[in-house]
Structure 1
């Protein structure tokens, strides 16, 4: 029964990737995969859906809906004011078209660190990346890799980043967003430098092979140079406000809750860049933002519901025990456990929502500080989550860039799976050697 149950979880994972790659609806996908886990583990099918699936679904919704909502409103504010586009264009202007492979992920990273969602970052920077890759004659099919690297790796999981990937462990472990700051920043810095080096080598080899920029139908290459956008310095202020409100403490107590801090950033963006907004359209933009938040969180909740069934499978404890008892540094098991669960979910945030409550207390009980556990799990969540079935990867590659996985995913894999995994191992070494750094 044990072997059959483990095989069932592996099959469910494979089915999850296959159905997502084929474009099946996320809810149909997770319901089918849930059924596979329930049957192979000999669980009561009704209980699996009614209790375990719905508990995982509703718990994640209750804990994180307000964060999704305020984060989406922040992203919407930066989008409708032109603030996000202004920041992206400013960074790319400084770096120049010759260094497009640096400027594109940096533009994404600045926005992402300030609380703008990965989806919105990609949509804001893509038109600019298109211009830059065209001007530098860089192969178009590598734009998804540059975007995904900037939005879903070093900036998303860095200490202080106003993202769900800090919010989940912070909520469960009682830590701050700056937990494990020194070692965390070094690990994320490694990801940034290693990723840029890899991207440069990859693009140079492509040009040596004679690859060029090949425009697709619908590409708007010539952007209006006279487009009226906010000053990039002004556009940065809401991001700074958000980061300050979320991370600043008085007498050890945060001056604002995460949701309050992000909402403060959204309001400041609207006020500071009011003249770039059509006031009559604000109610519509608010409604669109709320709908987007609901769509985003329910998709994650559905995956979390599947994870809830998998974690209640009789064989799941065997799997987690094997991860916890991996030979070598204790934190290595934490990295493996977190990234495997995130990979099964196809979501870093969904994986953390499952992994932190299960693995976090185990490692804290072993004497590892909650701050270390927080940062290691955040780092590890950004690796296997970026497998082909990840919703963000599919959206950016196929929906936004109109590229195929065959043409663009190999670079994306190296930048968003391999590099973060190596960065997580750097974190293991640093936290093992220097566990008491702030």
Structure 2
């Protein structure tokens, strides 16, 4: 019975934490409440659970991978400020044409995420690229979060060799390498993108029948629409850091 109560407490804590983050509550306070739920339901010393287990684990994790997070954020800022992300996106979209521009956008997001740009900053890199693409293709803007998160999750959590903390940290804890389970990873990535693609097609058809969805277009200003970026690097220089990172694995 005590095992069931403890397990139930862990599930309740995770559900609460997920709901709290979804509601926009502070992750600091929400995580502390979750720890209290787990400690009480598992018969742990509340003081030790908060001051020893929680604090020591949190600070150890942050300290161990601080440089990794910083490097990912710096790479994302570099791609945004230099125009390299825009150059990659423009090249892919030009090659794909209007009909397949959205697929090109998803491909760009997947490549940038796979190449090591931090998940915490990649949305800011992709936003300037997404606005004109969504307007040109008539894609409802309310779908931007879903369409953007799909190519982020795939390379981050499933695709072998991804240069993200979720793939790098297990190499130290579990002793695996960055390309562990390549066949399984590739299969799951393909299935994942196929299912998400079918959902997007279904949702886009539904959007045509609802006025607010159909008219949900991005607020594009002159800076976004006229992104010439004359000083942006050429496509070879833009993809070079990603290629080097993947090859070094």
Question: How do 1:20-419 and structure 2 match up within 5 A?
Answer: 20-154=21-155, 156-209=157-210, 211-215=213-217, 219-220=220-221, 223-228=225-230, 229-245=232-248, 247=249
Q: What is the alpha-carbon distance in structure 2 between the residues aligned to residue 202 and residue 15 of structure 1?
A: 29
For residues 43-66 of structure 1, what are the alpha-carbon distances to aligned partners after superposition, in whole Å with 9 as ceiling and x for unaligned?
111110122112321332243222
Q: What is the alpha-carbon distance in structure 2 between the residues aligned to residue 86 and residue 182 of structure 1?
A: 32
TM-score (norm 1): 0.52
Count, aligned residues: 245
Do the aligned residues in 2 keep the contact of 1:97 with 1:133 (CA within 8 Å)? no
TM-score (norm 2): 0.87
User: After TM superposition, what 4+ stretches of structure 1 lie above 6 angstroms from structure 2?
Assistant: none
Q: What is the alpha-carbon distance in structure 2 between the residues aligned to residue 104 and residue 134 of structure 1?
A: 13
Q: Tell me, what secondary structure is at the counterpart of 2:160? A: coil
1:14 corresponds to which residue? Answer: 15
- Could you say if the C-alpha distance between residues 185 and 21 of structure 1 is closer, same or farther in structure 2, counting changes exceeding 3 Å? closer
For residues 318-340 of structure 1, what are the alpha-carbon distances to aligned partners after superposition, in whole Å with 9 as ceiling and x for unaligned?
xxxxxxxxxxxxxxxxxxxxxxx
1:368 corresponds to which residue? Answer: none
- Could you say if the C-alpha distance between residues 17 and 155 of structure 1 is closer, same or farther in structure 2, counting changes exceeding 3 Å? closer
Shift of 1:225: 4.6
For residues 196-252 of structure 1, what are the alpha-carbon distances to aligned partners after superposition, in whole Å with 9 as ceiling and x for unaligned?
233223213322556424246x5427511533222122100111111122x1xxxxx
Q: What is the alpha-carbon distance in structure 2 between the residues aligned to residue 187 and residue 135 of structure 1?
A: 31
Shift of 1:96: 2.4
Q: Tell me, what secondary structure is at the counterpart of 1:235? A: helix
Q: Tell me, what secondary structure is at the counterpart of 1:112? A: helix
Q: What is the alpha-carbon distance in structure 2 between the residues aligned to residue 244 and residue 150 of structure 1?
A: 21
Q: What is the alpha-carbon distance in structure 2 between the residues aligned to residue 8 and residue 207 of structure 1?
A: 44
Shift of 1:82: 1.4
Shift of 1:134: 1.3
- Could you say if the C-alpha distance between residues 192 and 233 of structure 1 is closer, same or farther in structure 2, counting changes exceeding 3 Å? farther
Mean Cα displacement is larger for which, 156-165 or 144-153? Answer: 156-165
Do the aligned residues in 1 keep the contact of 2:155 with 2:162 (CA within 8 Å)? no
C-alpha RMSD of the superposition: 2.2
Q: What is the alpha-carbon distance in structure 2 between the residues aligned to residue 114 and residue 240 of structure 1?
A: 7
Shift of 1:155: 5.1
- Could you say if the C-alpha distance between residues 61 and 109 of structure 1 is closer, same or farther in structure 2, counting changes exceeding 3 Å? same
- Could you say if the C-alpha distance between residues 122 and 15 of structure 1 is closer, same or farther in structure 2, counting changes exceeding 3 Å? same
Shift of 1:100: 3.6
Q: What is the alpha-carbon distance in structure 2 between the residues aligned to residue 223 and residue 90 of structure 1?
A: 16
Q: What is the alpha-carbon distance in structure 1 between the residues aligned to residue 215 and residue 134 of structure 2?
A: 7
Q: What is the alpha-carbon distance in structure 1 between the residues aligned to residue 228 and residue 206 of structure 2?
A: 35
Q: Tell me, what secondary structure is at the counterpart of 1:97? A: coil
Q: What is the alpha-carbon distance in structure 2 between the residues aligned to residue 178 and residue 36 of structure 1?
A: 37
Q: What is the alpha-carbon distance in structure 2 between the residues aligned to residue 193 and residue 16 of structure 1?
A: 30
